[in-house]
Amino acid sequence: MKARIIIGANYGDEGKGTVVARYTKQSDNCLNILTNGGSQRSHTIVTEYGSTTFKHFGSGTYHGADNYYSRFFILNPIQFVNEYQSLIVKPNKIYRDINCMWSTPYDVMFNLITHHIDNKHNTCGMGIWNTIKRYNSTKTINFDTFMTDKELAYKYLNAVKKYYETQLETPKSWKNVWDSAYLKTHFIEDCKFFNEHTIPIDNINNLSYDNLIFENGQGLLLSDRGKDEEDRTPSNTGISDALNIIKDIDKDIDITAHYVTRPYLTRHGIGNLTNECIKGNITSDIKDDVNVYNEYQGCFRYGQLNIYNLYDRVVADTGNINYEIELTHCDEVDKVSDFKKVFKKVNVYDSPII
Protein backbone atom coordinates (compact mmCIF):
# COMPACT_ATOMS: atom_id res chain seq x y z
CA MET A 1 0.00 0.00 0.00
CA LYS A 2 1.20 3.50 -0.86
CA ALA A 3 0.28 6.55 1.25
CA ARG A 4 0.92 10.11 0.12
CA ILE A 5 0.38 12.93 2.61
CA ILE A 6 -0.21 16.30 0.90
CA ILE A 7 0.70 19.15 3.25
CA GLY A 8 0.65 22.91 2.79
CA ALA A 9 4.12 24.19 3.66
CA ASN A 10 3.19 27.78 4.46
CA TYR A 11 -0.07 29.67 5.16
CA GLY A 12 -2.29 27.67 2.82
CA ASP A 13 -3.24 28.43 -0.81
CA GLU A 14 -0.08 26.71 -2.07
CA GLY A 15 -1.80 24.49 -4.64
CA LYS A 16 -2.58 21.34 -2.64
CA GLY A 17 -5.63 20.56 -4.77
CA THR A 18 -3.54 20.42 -7.93
CA VAL A 19 -1.02 18.08 -6.30
CA VAL A 20 -3.74 15.77 -4.96
CA ALA A 21 -5.40 15.67 -8.39
CA ARG A 22 -2.11 14.81 -10.12
CA TYR A 23 -1.29 11.88 -7.84
CA THR A 24 -4.87 10.61 -7.92
CA LYS A 25 -4.83 10.61 -11.71
CA GLN A 26 -1.65 8.49 -11.58
CA SER A 27 -3.06 6.02 -9.03
CA ASP A 28 -5.49 3.11 -9.21
CA ASN A 29 -7.88 2.02 -6.45
CA CYS A 30 -7.39 5.30 -4.59
CA LEU A 31 -8.92 6.65 -1.37
CA ASN A 32 -8.76 10.44 -0.94
CA ILE A 33 -8.68 11.17 2.80
CA LEU A 34 -9.69 14.61 4.05
CA THR A 35 -7.30 14.69 6.98
CA ASN A 36 -8.02 17.73 9.12
CA GLY A 37 -10.01 20.94 9.41
CA GLY A 38 -13.35 21.14 7.63
CA SER A 39 -15.09 22.74 4.70
CA GLN A 40 -13.35 26.06 5.27
CA ARG A 41 -10.73 24.63 2.91
CA SER A 42 -10.94 25.71 -0.72
CA HIS A 43 -8.83 23.56 -3.05
CA THR A 44 -8.99 24.31 -6.76
CA ILE A 45 -8.06 22.11 -9.69
CA VAL A 46 -8.21 22.75 -13.42
CA THR A 47 -10.11 20.35 -15.69
CA GLU A 48 -11.18 20.44 -19.32
CA TYR A 49 -14.38 22.07 -18.06
CA GLY A 50 -12.56 24.88 -16.28
CA SER A 51 -11.61 25.33 -12.63
CA THR A 52 -13.38 23.36 -9.89
CA THR A 53 -13.09 24.12 -6.18
CA PHE A 54 -13.47 21.43 -3.52
CA LYS A 55 -14.39 22.17 0.10
CA HIS A 56 -16.19 19.15 1.54
CA PHE A 57 -14.79 16.71 -1.04
CA GLY A 58 -11.32 15.58 -1.96
CA SER A 59 -9.55 17.15 -4.92
CA GLY A 60 -9.01 13.63 -6.30
CA THR A 61 -12.77 13.19 -6.73
CA TYR A 62 -12.71 14.27 -10.36
CA HIS A 63 -10.18 11.54 -11.17
CA GLY A 64 -12.20 8.75 -9.58
CA ALA A 65 -11.02 8.64 -5.96
CA ASP A 66 -13.40 7.55 -3.23
CA ASN A 67 -13.60 9.96 -0.28
CA TYR A 68 -13.04 9.45 3.44
CA TYR A 69 -13.64 11.96 6.24
CA SER A 70 -11.15 11.21 9.00
CA ARG A 71 -11.94 11.63 12.69
CA PHE A 72 -10.03 14.94 12.56
CA PHE A 73 -12.36 16.41 9.90
CA ILE A 74 -15.44 18.47 10.83
CA LEU A 75 -18.56 17.58 8.85
CA ASN A 76 -20.99 20.16 7.51
CA PRO A 77 -24.14 18.54 6.02
CA ILE A 78 -25.34 21.79 4.41
CA GLN A 79 -22.07 22.33 2.56
CA PHE A 80 -21.96 18.64 1.62
CA VAL A 81 -25.38 18.77 -0.05
CA ASN A 82 -24.67 21.98 -1.93
CA GLU A 83 -21.32 20.76 -3.20
CA TYR A 84 -22.42 17.20 -3.98
CA GLN A 85 -25.14 18.46 -6.29
CA SER A 86 -22.63 20.59 -8.23
CA LEU A 87 -19.98 17.87 -8.73
CA ILE A 88 -19.28 16.91 -12.33
CA VAL A 89 -17.87 13.57 -11.12
CA LYS A 90 -19.23 12.15 -7.88
CA PRO A 91 -17.35 9.67 -5.67
CA ASN A 92 -18.45 6.08 -5.94
CA LYS A 93 -18.12 5.73 -2.17
CA ILE A 94 -17.90 8.31 0.61
CA TYR A 95 -16.83 7.07 4.04
CA ARG A 96 -16.90 8.97 7.32
CA ASP A 97 -15.43 8.16 10.69
CA ILE A 98 -18.23 7.80 13.21
CA ASN A 99 -16.31 10.06 15.62
CA CYS A 100 -16.25 13.13 13.35
CA MET A 101 -17.45 16.38 14.86
CA TRP A 102 -20.22 18.01 12.84
CA SER A 103 -21.51 21.56 12.52
CA THR A 104 -25.08 22.81 12.82
CA PRO A 105 -26.50 25.98 11.21
CA TYR A 106 -26.20 27.71 14.58
CA ASP A 107 -22.43 27.14 14.71
CA VAL A 108 -22.11 28.77 11.31
CA MET A 109 -24.51 31.64 11.98
CA PHE A 110 -22.92 32.47 15.33
CA ASN A 111 -19.58 32.61 13.53
CA LEU A 112 -21.00 35.07 10.98
CA ILE A 113 -22.78 37.16 13.61
CA THR A 114 -19.67 37.58 15.76
CA HIS A 115 -17.61 38.33 12.65
CA HIS A 116 -19.88 41.23 11.74
CA ILE A 117 -19.70 42.52 15.32
CA ASP A 118 -15.91 42.21 15.67
CA ASN A 119 -15.24 43.29 12.06
CA LYS A 120 -12.00 41.31 11.90
CA HIS A 121 -10.74 39.42 8.86
CA ASN A 122 -9.98 36.23 10.78
CA THR A 123 -12.52 33.64 9.67
CA CYS A 124 -13.75 31.61 6.72
CA GLY A 125 -17.31 31.87 8.07
CA MET A 126 -17.90 28.10 8.33
CA GLY A 127 -18.25 27.85 12.12
CA ILE A 128 -15.18 25.66 12.62
CA TRP A 129 -13.92 27.25 15.85
CA ASN A 130 -17.48 27.50 17.18
CA THR A 131 -18.11 23.80 16.58
CA ILE A 132 -14.91 22.82 18.38
CA LYS A 133 -15.58 25.09 21.34
CA ARG A 134 -19.15 23.80 21.65
CA TYR A 135 -17.91 20.21 21.63
CA ASN A 136 -15.44 21.07 24.37
CA SER A 137 -17.99 22.76 26.62
CA THR A 138 -21.37 21.04 26.12
CA LYS A 139 -22.88 17.58 25.88
CA THR A 140 -22.87 16.50 22.24
CA ILE A 141 -24.06 13.49 20.25
CA ASN A 142 -22.50 11.89 17.22
CA PHE A 143 -24.14 12.21 13.84
CA ASP A 144 -25.54 8.67 13.73
CA THR A 145 -27.26 9.13 17.09
CA PHE A 146 -28.72 12.42 15.83
CA MET A 147 -30.20 10.57 12.85
CA THR A 148 -31.92 7.83 14.87
CA ASP A 149 -34.90 9.86 16.04
CA LYS A 150 -36.55 13.00 14.62
CA GLU A 151 -37.72 14.22 18.03
CA LEU A 152 -34.19 13.83 19.38
CA ALA A 153 -32.85 15.77 16.39
CA TYR A 154 -35.10 18.77 17.06
CA LYS A 155 -34.32 18.65 20.77
CA TYR A 156 -30.59 18.64 20.09
CA LEU A 157 -30.78 21.56 17.65
CA ASN A 158 -32.80 23.56 20.15
CA ALA A 159 -30.11 22.88 22.77
CA VAL A 160 -27.38 24.10 20.43
CA LYS A 161 -29.43 27.20 19.64
CA LYS A 162 -29.91 27.93 23.34
CA TYR A 163 -26.20 27.41 23.99
CA TYR A 164 -25.37 30.32 21.71
CA GLU A 165 -28.23 32.48 22.96
CA THR A 166 -26.67 32.41 26.45
CA GLN A 167 -23.56 34.03 24.99
CA LEU A 168 -25.04 36.78 22.85
CA GLU A 169 -28.42 38.32 22.15
CA THR A 170 -29.33 37.63 18.55
CA PRO A 171 -29.13 40.84 16.47
CA LYS A 172 -32.41 41.98 14.94
CA SER A 173 -31.05 41.52 11.42
CA TRP A 174 -30.51 37.80 12.14
CA LYS A 175 -33.62 37.20 14.25
CA ASN A 176 -35.93 35.84 11.54
CA VAL A 177 -33.54 33.21 10.23
CA TRP A 178 -32.17 32.37 13.69
CA ASP A 179 -35.66 31.65 15.07
CA SER A 180 -36.97 30.00 11.92
CA ALA A 181 -38.57 26.60 12.45
CA TYR A 182 -37.99 25.88 8.77
CA LEU A 183 -34.23 26.21 9.34
CA LYS A 184 -34.22 23.15 11.59
CA THR A 185 -36.51 21.20 9.24
CA HIS A 186 -34.37 22.01 6.21
CA PHE A 187 -31.17 21.12 8.06
CA ILE A 188 -32.56 17.74 9.09
CA GLU A 189 -33.42 17.08 5.44
CA ASP A 190 -29.84 17.92 4.49
CA CYS A 191 -28.65 15.54 7.20
CA LYS A 192 -30.82 12.78 5.72
CA PHE A 193 -29.26 13.37 2.32
CA PHE A 194 -25.78 13.34 3.83
CA ASN A 195 -26.56 10.15 5.74
CA GLU A 196 -27.85 8.41 2.61
CA HIS A 197 -24.73 9.27 0.63
CA THR A 198 -22.05 8.43 3.21
CA ILE A 199 -20.91 5.20 4.85
CA PRO A 200 -20.11 5.35 8.58
CA ILE A 201 -17.10 3.29 9.66
CA ASP A 202 -15.28 2.87 12.96
CA ASN A 203 -11.97 1.59 11.59
CA ILE A 204 -10.19 2.53 8.39
CA ASN A 205 -8.41 -0.82 8.55
CA ASN A 206 -11.63 -2.41 7.26
CA LEU A 207 -11.20 -0.62 3.90
CA SER A 208 -9.16 -2.07 1.06
CA TYR A 209 -7.29 0.39 -1.17
CA ASP A 210 -3.93 0.29 -2.91
CA ASN A 211 -3.34 4.04 -2.65
CA LEU A 212 -4.16 6.49 0.12
CA ILE A 213 -3.89 10.21 -0.59
CA PHE A 214 -4.21 12.37 2.52
CA GLU A 215 -5.34 15.89 1.68
CA ASN A 216 -4.48 18.28 4.48
CA GLY A 217 -6.17 21.64 4.88
CA GLN A 218 -4.40 24.96 5.45
CA GLY A 219 -0.59 25.09 5.97
CA LEU A 220 2.19 24.51 8.49
CA LEU A 221 2.40 28.18 9.50
CA LEU A 222 -1.30 28.22 10.42
CA SER A 223 -1.30 25.27 12.82
CA ASP A 224 -2.62 26.35 16.22
CA ARG A 225 -0.54 23.71 18.07
CA GLY A 226 -3.37 23.37 20.58
CA LYS A 227 -3.75 27.11 21.23
CA ASP A 228 -6.78 29.33 20.65
CA GLU A 229 -5.32 32.05 18.43
CA GLU A 230 -7.46 34.17 16.13
CA ASP A 231 -4.94 34.24 13.29
CA ARG A 232 -4.46 30.45 13.22
CA THR A 233 -6.55 27.45 12.24
CA PRO A 234 -7.86 25.09 14.96
CA SER A 235 -6.14 21.90 13.82
CA ASN A 236 -2.76 20.30 13.34
CA THR A 237 -1.89 21.11 9.75
CA GLY A 238 1.24 18.98 9.50
CA ILE A 239 1.94 15.27 9.21
CA SER A 240 0.81 14.10 12.66
CA ASP A 241 -2.92 13.51 12.05
CA ALA A 242 -2.23 11.47 8.92
CA LEU A 243 0.33 9.34 10.77
CA ASN A 244 -2.18 8.73 13.57
CA ILE A 245 -4.68 7.45 11.00
CA ILE A 246 -2.04 5.26 9.35
CA LYS A 247 -1.34 3.64 12.73
CA ASP A 248 -4.83 2.13 12.57
CA ILE A 249 -3.99 0.25 9.36
CA ASP A 250 -2.56 -3.23 9.79
CA LYS A 251 -0.62 -3.35 6.51
CA ASP A 252 2.83 -2.51 5.22
CA ILE A 253 2.63 1.07 3.99
CA ASP A 254 5.10 3.05 1.93
CA ILE A 255 4.70 6.65 3.16
CA THR A 256 5.78 9.83 1.40
CA ALA A 257 5.02 13.34 2.62
CA HIS A 258 4.54 15.98 -0.07
CA TYR A 259 5.05 19.59 1.05
CA VAL A 260 3.41 22.05 -1.32
CA THR A 261 4.69 25.59 -1.77
CA ARG A 262 4.69 28.45 -4.20
CA PRO A 263 8.04 30.20 -4.86
CA TYR A 264 6.66 33.01 -2.68
CA LEU A 265 4.38 33.33 0.36
CA THR A 266 0.66 34.07 0.39
CA ARG A 267 -1.84 34.50 3.19
CA HIS A 268 -5.53 35.11 3.79
CA GLY A 269 -6.73 37.07 6.81
CA ILE A 270 -5.01 38.80 9.71
CA GLY A 271 -1.80 37.77 11.40
CA ASN A 272 1.91 37.72 10.75
CA LEU A 273 3.18 37.32 7.19
CA THR A 274 6.96 37.13 7.02
CA ASN A 275 8.58 39.45 4.46
CA GLU A 276 5.19 40.84 3.35
CA CYS A 277 5.17 42.92 0.19
CA ILE A 278 2.95 43.88 -2.71
CA LYS A 279 2.71 41.15 -5.31
CA GLY A 280 4.33 43.40 -7.91
CA ASN A 281 7.57 43.19 -5.92
CA ILE A 282 7.56 39.43 -6.47
CA THR A 283 6.61 39.38 -10.14
CA SER A 284 4.16 41.03 -12.49
CA ASP A 285 3.11 37.58 -13.75
CA ILE A 286 0.90 36.57 -10.80
CA LYS A 287 -2.65 35.99 -12.03
CA ASP A 288 -4.58 34.65 -9.04
CA ASP A 289 -8.22 34.92 -10.11
CA VAL A 290 -9.61 32.70 -7.32
CA ASN A 291 -7.87 34.30 -4.33
CA VAL A 292 -9.51 37.72 -4.20
CA TYR A 293 -10.86 39.99 -1.49
CA ASN A 294 -13.72 38.63 0.60
CA GLU A 295 -15.46 40.15 3.60
CA TYR A 296 -14.39 37.40 6.00
CA GLN A 297 -10.67 37.24 5.25
CA GLY A 298 -9.97 40.56 3.62
CA CYS A 299 -7.32 41.00 0.94
CA PHE A 300 -5.09 38.20 -0.31
CA ARG A 301 -1.57 39.00 0.86
CA TYR A 302 1.89 38.24 -0.53
CA GLY A 303 5.40 37.89 0.84
CA GLN A 304 8.92 36.83 -0.11
CA LEU A 305 9.75 33.18 0.72
CA ASN A 306 12.93 32.24 2.58
CA ILE A 307 13.79 28.77 1.26
CA TYR A 308 16.01 27.94 4.26
CA ASN A 309 13.21 28.74 6.71
CA LEU A 310 10.95 26.51 4.61
CA TYR A 311 13.53 23.72 4.84
CA ASP A 312 13.65 24.02 8.63
CA ARG A 313 9.89 23.72 9.12
CA VAL A 314 9.55 20.86 6.66
CA VAL A 315 12.32 18.87 8.37
CA ALA A 316 10.84 19.64 11.79
CA ASP A 317 7.42 18.39 10.69
CA THR A 318 8.33 15.32 8.67
CA GLY A 319 10.67 13.61 11.14
CA ASN A 320 12.04 10.42 9.59
CA ILE A 321 9.39 10.16 6.85
CA ASN A 322 10.52 10.39 3.24
CA TYR A 323 9.39 13.68 1.72
CA GLU A 324 9.27 15.62 -1.55
CA ILE A 325 8.70 19.28 -2.35
CA GLU A 326 5.85 20.16 -4.71
CA LEU A 327 6.74 23.55 -6.19
CA THR A 328 3.75 25.24 -7.85
CA HIS A 329 3.33 28.47 -9.87
CA CYS A 330 6.74 27.99 -11.47
CA ASP A 331 5.60 29.80 -14.61
CA GLU A 332 5.25 32.96 -12.50
CA VAL A 333 8.57 32.86 -10.64
CA ASP A 334 11.44 30.63 -11.77
CA LYS A 335 13.21 29.48 -8.60
CA VAL A 336 13.45 25.79 -9.45
CA SER A 337 17.24 25.78 -9.40
CA ASP A 338 17.27 27.51 -6.00
CA PHE A 339 14.93 24.90 -4.53
CA LYS A 340 16.95 22.03 -5.98
CA LYS A 341 20.05 23.32 -4.20
CA VAL A 342 18.26 22.90 -0.86
CA PHE A 343 15.90 19.94 -1.33
CA LYS A 344 16.72 16.49 -2.72
CA LYS A 345 13.40 15.98 -4.54
CA VAL A 346 11.48 18.86 -6.14
CA ASN A 347 8.45 18.31 -8.39
CA VAL A 348 7.55 21.26 -10.62
CA TYR A 349 4.12 22.66 -11.57
CA ASP A 350 2.88 25.69 -13.44
CA SER A 351 0.07 27.83 -12.01
CA PRO A 352 -2.88 25.57 -11.10
CA ILE A 353 -5.42 28.41 -11.23
CA ILE A 354 -7.15 29.48 -14.44
SS (H, E, C) the chain: CEEEEEEECCCCCCCHHHHHHHHHHCCCCEEEEECCEECCCCEEEEECCEEEEECCCCCCHHHCCEEEECCCEEECHHHHHHHHHHCCCCCCCEEEECCCCECCHHHHHHHHHHHHHHCCCCCCCCCHHHHHHHHHHCCCCCHHHHCCCHHHHHHHHHHHHHHHHCCCCCCHHHHHHHCCHHHHHHHHHHHHHHHHHCEEECCHHHCCCCEEEEEEEEEHHHECCCCCCCCCECCCCCCHHHHHHHCCCCCCCEEEEEEEECCEEEECCCCCCCCEECHHHCCCCCCCCCCCCECCCECCEEEECCHHHHHHHHHHHHCCCEEEEEECCCCCCCCHHHHHHHCCCEEECCCCCC
* Distance in angstroms (rounded) separating the CA atoms of residues 299 and 198: 36
* Tens-level pLDDT at each residue, the chain (354 residues): 999 999 999 999 999 999 999 999 999 999 999 999 999 888 999 888 788 899 999 999 999 999 999 999 999 999 999 999 999 999 999 999 999 999 999 999 999 998 777 655 455 678 899 999 999 999 999 999 999 999 999 999 999 999 999 999 999 999 999 999 999 999 999 999 999 999 999 999 999 999 999 999 999 998 875 555 555 667 889 999 999 999 999 999 999 999 999 999 999 877 888 899 988 899 877 776 655 555 655 678 899 999 999 999 999 999 999 999 999 999 999 999 999 999 999 999 987 653
Alpha-carbon span 147 to 26, nearest angstrom: 38
Provide CATH 3.40.440.10 ranges for the chain.
Answer: 2-98+201-265+305-348
pTM of the model: 0.93
What are the φ and ψ backbone dihedral angles of 122, each rounded to 5 degrees? -135, 30
CA distances from 55 to 94, 155, 242 (A): 14, 29, 18
Rg (CA), the chain: 20
CATH of domain 2-98+201-265+305-348: 3.40.440.10
